[in-house]
């Protein structure tokens, strides 16, 4: 058995070496930074071509993609602001794009595509756990490099996850890193990527500036209603404990990473504003509040609490427990716009 | 648990290492526990169904051996009925119900029994057939009853072949659970190579083809006749790579631990006739139907018409075994008709070959026969793959119309996927063609170690880079 195990180990090393060579000679040259997330393709191509038309960028998850209407946002802000510098915003929200993926994409837009804006509104979200079902999707780790690996592992260790979940996530992350090292299934992803590149669907994204409204469903199941209630309860509990949880231990690595993003943006003359939408559960708020506490008031917009944003929790304006429908999107955009104006005039 | 899943990547080495580390007397227990875990990854509570059928057949086996005359037969019948009953409830109840309901509707009768809300237990048809072969073999006196309940359970549940075969006979596998398998380098290396080959077929070819075939077969009305012909030919490759890939992995896993499972595929698309195809495709099932249905009905040693009847019924049942849908029944029946036609036209074909001088150039005759066989088998696959009978008839009507000359690749496939699919299918056929002439495994084994290592490394790099690792299930799991 020893002989066989030695041979297998030898083979694993050789295959890793060959894959590293292939990676450097082929994938690194052929694949752009955003290739693992096909959903970003249209938006990235659009913004690169049209970046001079925009001075404000929203970046985050589906909670932006389906909820924030840039046309409405601009009209609200510009109707009050009569100065010369009109707001022209673009919604770079992509389904499931949470940190560190969203931060990686934002950083790459600045560094690799050399884009610049006056303002970047970054959606603040909890660090999502790696789900086993997503193990073989590149979305989970295409962004993984030496730096992001370090950031993510340190953030995970400092997160509010239970110890077993931290261990589980770290081991999954290492498996993902090994998968990446071995280029597992990579060529297929490359083909998928190229296929989409042939026919990018830019028309809809272009007309609504990255925003995609959701139509109100005909009805909700009892289970869905319960989930909506859970989101509302979490928001109420979080609001009641805002000050208490702010004093809890902070995920320093996550905070440092956000700070790094701010510094990088400032170098490019970009002002960063963090936007906190509703979260699914109390744990996520507990993770984010200490970080939020260290962000100055002038750099954050909070649209999470029930008290001040009741219509966002009303099933009449909801698509599901995580997103508002098109009517809710108008309300949500209004809240964000007012939060933005408050910052703008106050500071 | 799927072979192409992350869980299996951990499961397999752990179970194999434990197998060799444990003393012989505990190994069956380890394998049985591992098999239960493997099965329970799908729907855990369904293990109870397995437990019930195993218990009945175990008890029946002992009773059959210890009885004589009519009592003996009675135990056999009890065992067969109980096993078939499980199949009938979980696999065929809704099919019968929907057909009775349709008939009642047609006759304007009042029929209000609704469909059962059940999910088919994975691999049900495979392990029930394996159980049936045990009781029949015990009844025929060809195998003694298994006294150890655990070992008998392992016979039914042995994880490499639990959900999609090969369907083993007790003579071939039961005694192996008593053998003391010491670690054997040759077996382990061969087993791993066979597994790698199976993964190549499944991940690099079958799953890639699935991405092209599924959208077309799910909406056949949107595509031209030419496209449907092309995609049907691709499906012939997909199902071969998917199922034979699974069999290779199963046989390879067993081999690593020193077990020998029966060969299930033998380059079937190189067959020169449909009858030859069925001796090389899903061999464990074909021989099961031969031994337990066709021969007991009289086989070919009966009158001509009875022989045709036997052939047709055997294939009809085989089709019905595959799935509770008229598409599968027609698929089976069509293959039965092919065989009957083959018998009837045997002499005519010989005469025709002589008349046009084909028999003078056997290589051309061989290729022509292979080509015709592939076309006939692929045509039958239309019924196998189509979602409904209406879809199948739509596809056939398009194929038999002038629309067959219309093929527009850009509507359903991108140039990258097209090149990859065709390239890998050609590579597969080339390797299999060569393997028929020279034993490639032995040929490679005779090369210096650095050459072998380089070849294995390149193979793995291709597998890792070009495979589709999204844990897609195997087609035959649905049966």
pLDDT classification of B163: cutoffs 50, 70, 90: confident
Residue whose token pair is 């192996």: B176
Position with higher pLDDT, B116 vs A217: A217
B470 touches chain A (CB under 8 A): yes
Q: What are the pLDDT digits (tens) for A176-203?
A: 888 777 777 777 777 776 765 544 454 5
Given this model, what pLDDT does residue A200 score? 42
Check whether B287 has a pLDDT greater than 80. yes
Q: What are the pLDDT digits (tens) for A244-262?
A: 776 667 778 888 888 989 9
Q: List the domain range (segments joined by +) for residue A114.
A: 37-131+207-344
pLDDT classification of B359: cutoffs 50, 70, 90: confident
Point out the least confidently predicted range of A63-67, A135-139, A318-322, B167-171.
Answer: A135-139
Is residue A268 a part of any domain in this protein?
yes
A10 touches chain B (CB under 8 A): yes
pLDDT classification of B469: cutoffs 50, 70, 90: confident
Residues of B whose CB is below 8 A from A182: 464
Is residue A177 a part of any domain in this protein?
no
A178 touches chain B (CB under 8 A): no
Average pLDDT score over chain B: 88
Would you call A186 and B465 a contact, using CB atoms and an 8 Å cutoff?
Answer: yes
Is residue A212 a part of any domain in this protein?
yes
Given this model, what pLDDT does residue A57 score? 95
Is residue A17 a part of any domain in this protein?
no
Check whether B293 has a pLDDT greater than 80. yes
Would you call A198 and B414 a contact, using CB atoms and an 8 Å cutoff?
Answer: yes
Given this model, what pLDDT does residue B323 score? 80
Given this model, what pLDDT does residue B341 score? 93
Would you call B465 and A132 a contact, using CB atoms and an 8 Å cutoff?
Answer: no
Would you call B465 and A187 a contact, using CB atoms and an 8 Å cutoff?
Answer: yes
Report percent pLDDT > 70 for chain A. Answer: 90
Report percent pLDDT > 70 for chain B. Answer: 97
Point out the least confidently predicted range of A90-99, B130-139, B219-228, B400-409.
Answer: B400-409
Given this model, what pLDDT does residue A346 score? 65
Point out the least confidently predicted range of A165-179, B239-253, B326-340.
Answer: A165-179
Domain count, chain A: 1
Pairwise CA distance, residues B34 & B32, whole Å:
5
Residues of B whose CB is below 8 A from A8: 192
Is residue A8 a part of any domain in this protein?
no
A15 touches chain B (CB under 8 A): yes
Give the nearest partner residue to A183 out of B188, B208, B464, using CB atoms.
B464
Residues of A whose CB is below 8 A from B255: none
Q: What are the pLDDT digits (tens) for B33-45?
A: 999 999 998 888 8
Is residue A236 a part of any domain in this protein?
yes
pLDDT classification of A82: cutoffs 50, 70, 90: low
Distance from A110 to chain B by nearest Cα, in Å? 31
For residues B447-456, average pLDDT? 86
Position with higher pLDDT, A151 vs B144: B144
Is residue A219 a part of any domain in this protein?
yes
Residues of A whose CB is below 8 A from B16: none
Given this model, what pLDDT does residue B395 score? 92
For residues A48-62, average pLDDT? 91
Give the nearest partner residue to A3 out of B185, B192, B414, using CB atoms.
B185
Q: What are the pLDDT digits (tens) for A270-296?
A: 999 999 999 888 888 988 888 888 888
pLDDT classification of A325: cutoffs 50, 70, 90: very high
Per-residue buried b or exposed e for B264-290, using 16+ beta carbons within 10 Å of the residue's own CB: bbeebbbbbbbbbbbebbbbbbbbbbb
Given this model, what pLDDT does residue A135 score? 65
Given this model, what pLDDT does residue A133 score? 66
Would you call A132 and B470 a contact, using CB atoms and an 8 Å cutoff?
Answer: no
Is residue A185 a part of any domain in this protein?
no
**Which CATH number do you get for residue A269?**
3.40.50.1110
Check: complex ipTM more than 0.90 = no
Check whether B373 has a pLDDT greater than 90. yes
Given this model, what pLDDT does residue A336 score? 95
Residues of A whose CB is below 8 A from B20: 1
For residues A1-5, average pLDDT? 83
Residues of B whose CB is below 8 A from A24: none
A13 touches chain B (CB under 8 A): no
B457 touches chain A (CB under 8 A): yes
Given this model, what pLDDT does residue B473 score? 59
pLDDT classification of B474: cutoffs 50, 70, 90: low
Q: Which of B274, B317, B300, B265 is nearest to B428 (CA)?
A: B265
Given this model, what pLDDT does residue B263 score? 92
Given this model, what pLDDT does residue B55 score? 93
Q: What are the pLDDT digits (tens) for A125-134?
A: 887 777 666 6
- Any idea which residues of B carry the catalytic annotation? 322
Give the nearest partner residue to B468 out of A1, A14, A188, using CB atoms.
A188
Distance from B105 to chain A by nearest Cα, in Å? 32
Would you call B466 and A137 a contact, using CB atoms and an 8 Å cutoff?
Answer: no
């Amino acid at each position: 058995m020893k002989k066989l195990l030695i041979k297998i180990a030898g083979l694993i090393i050789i295959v890793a070496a060959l894959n590293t060579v292939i990676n450097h000679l082929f994938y690194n040259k052929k694949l752009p930074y955003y290739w693992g997330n096909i959903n970003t393709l249209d938006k990235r191509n659009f913004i690169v071509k049209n970046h001079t038309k925009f001075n404000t960028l929203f970046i985050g998850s589906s909670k932006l993609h389906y909820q924030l209407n840039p046309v409405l946002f601009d009209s609200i802000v510009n109707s009050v602001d009569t100065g010369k510098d009109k707001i022209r915003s673009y919604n770079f929200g992509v389904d499931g794009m949470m940190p560190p993926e969203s931060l990686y994409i934002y950083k790459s837009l600045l560094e690799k595509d050399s884009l610049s804006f006056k303002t970047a509104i970054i959606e603040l979200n909890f660090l999502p756990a790696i789900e086993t079902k997503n193990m073989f999707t590149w979305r989970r780790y295409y962004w993984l490099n030496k730096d992001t690996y370090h950031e993510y592992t340190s953030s995970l260790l400092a997160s509010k996850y239970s110890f077993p979940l931290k261990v589980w996530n770290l081991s999954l992350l290492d498996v993902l890193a090994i998968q990446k090292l071995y280029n597992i299934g990579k060529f297929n992803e490359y083909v998928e990527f190229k296929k989409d590149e042939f026919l990018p669907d830019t028309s809809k994204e272009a007309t609504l500036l990255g925003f995609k409204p959701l139509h109100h469903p005909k009805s909700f199941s009892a289970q869905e209603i319960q989930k909506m209630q859970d989101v509302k309860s979490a928001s109420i509990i979080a609001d009641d404990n805002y000050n208490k949880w702010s004093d809890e231990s902070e995920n320093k690595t996550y905070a440092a990473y956000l700070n790094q993003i701010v510094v990088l943006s400032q170098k490019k003359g970009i002002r960063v504003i963090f936007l906190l939408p509703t979260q699914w559960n109390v744990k996520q708020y507990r993770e984010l509040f200490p970080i939020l506490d260290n962000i100055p008031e002038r750099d954050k917009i909070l649209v999470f609490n029930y008290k001040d944003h009741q219509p966002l929790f009303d099933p009449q304006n909801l698509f599901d427990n995580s997103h508002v429908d098109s009517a809710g999107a108008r309300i949500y955009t209004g809240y964000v716009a007012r939060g933005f104006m408050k910052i703008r005039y106050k500071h | 648990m799927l072979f192409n899943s992350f869980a299996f990547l951990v499961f397999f080495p752990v179970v194999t290492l434990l197998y060799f580390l444990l003393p012989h007397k505990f190994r069956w227990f380890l394998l049985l526990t591992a098999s239960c875990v493997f099965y329970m990854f799908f729907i855990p509570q369904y293990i109870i169904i397995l437990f019930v059928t195993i218990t009945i057949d175990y008890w029946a086996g002992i009773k059959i051996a210890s009885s004589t005359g009519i009592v003996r037969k009675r135990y056999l019948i009890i065992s067969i009925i109980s096993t078939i009953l499980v199949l009938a409830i979980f696999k065929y109840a809704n099919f019968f119900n929907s057909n009775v309901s349709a008939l009642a509707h047609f006759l304007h009768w009042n029929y209000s029994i609704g469909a059962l809300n059940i999910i088919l237990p994975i691999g049900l048809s495979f392990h029930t057939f394996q159980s049936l072969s045990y009781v029949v073999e015990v009844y025929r006196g060809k195998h003694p009853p298994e006294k150890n309940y655990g070992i008998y359970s392992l016979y039914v549940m042995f994880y490499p072949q639990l959900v999609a075969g090969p369907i083993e006979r007790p003579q071939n596998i039961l005694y192996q659970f008593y053998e003391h398998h010491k670690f054997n380098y040759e077996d382990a290396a061969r087993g791993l190579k066979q597994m790698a080959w199976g993964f190549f077929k499944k991940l690099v070819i079958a799953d890639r083809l699935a991405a092209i075939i599924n959208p077309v077969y799910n909406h056949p009305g949107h595509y031209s006749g030419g496209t449907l012909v092309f995609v049907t030919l691709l499906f012939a490759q997909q199902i071969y790579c998917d199922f034979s890939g699974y069999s290779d992995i199963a046989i390879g896993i067993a081999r690593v631990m020193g077990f020998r499972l029966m060969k299930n595929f033998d380059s079937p698309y190189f067959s020169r006739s449909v009858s030859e195809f069925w001796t090389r495709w899903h061999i464990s099932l074909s021989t099961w139907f031969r031994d337990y249905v066709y021969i007991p009905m009289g086989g070919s040693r009966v009158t001509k018409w009875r022989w045709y009847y036997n052939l047709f019924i055997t294939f009809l049942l085989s089709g019905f075994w595959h799935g509770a849908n008229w598409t599968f029944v027609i698929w089976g029946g069509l293959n039965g008709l092919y065989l009957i036609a083959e018998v009837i036209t045997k002499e005519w074909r010989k005469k025709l070959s002589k008349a046009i001088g084909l028999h003078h150039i056997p290589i051309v005759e061989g290729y022509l026969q292979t080509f015709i066989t592939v076309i006939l088998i692929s045509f039958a696959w239309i019924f196998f793959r189509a979602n409904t009978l209406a879809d199948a008839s739509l596809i056939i009507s398009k194929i038999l119309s002038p629309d067959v000359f219309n093929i527009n690749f850009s509507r359903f496939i991108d140039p990258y996927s097209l090149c990859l699919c065709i390239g890998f299918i050609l590579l597969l056929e080339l390797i299999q063609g060569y393997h028929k002439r020279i034993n490639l495994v032995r040929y490679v084994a005779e090369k210096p170690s650095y050459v072998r290592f380089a070849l294995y490394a390149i193979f793995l790099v291709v597998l890792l880079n070009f495979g589709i690792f999204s844990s897609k299930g195997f087609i035959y799991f649905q049966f």
